[in-house]
Amino acid sequence: MGKEKAHINIVVIGHVDSGKSTTTGHLIYKCGGIDKRTIEKFEKEAAEIGKGSFKYAWVLHKLKAERECGITIDISLWKFETSKYYVTIIDNIFYFLRKLRKFNSYHLDHP
């Protein structure tokens, strides 16, 4: 029986418009989580609305508003597998973490 793959969990956080989705989408592509044909399709569609450099962000940006505005509106979860790992990536929005921290603080004080 073969060796079991390790699972890697990645959460990407950062300030608004810092390139989180673009970096994450590029990482997914480079690791084989999405094929070249899909990236080329995203590049063409993004160029048609004047956002050609957003092709990797579109791996994670599924909402029309995200693609048109070039910002993350919703949290994105992406799972893929490499030859050695199972990978889960969450592309997060900064203000969500602040809300989560407040939620956790409240519930730690009020069990």
Predicted confidence at residue 24, as pLDDT, reads 93
pTM of the model: 0.76
Calpha distance 47→111 (Å, rounded): 51
Name beta bridge partners: 12: 91
3-state secondary structure of 26: helix
Q: What is the pLDDT of residues 21-44, one digit of tens each?
A: 999 999 999 999 999 999 999 999
pLDDT band per the 50, 70, 90 thresholds, residue 8: very high
Query: What domains lie within the chain, and their CATH numbers?
Result: 6-109 (3.40.50.300)
Calpha distance 109→65 (Å, rounded): 37
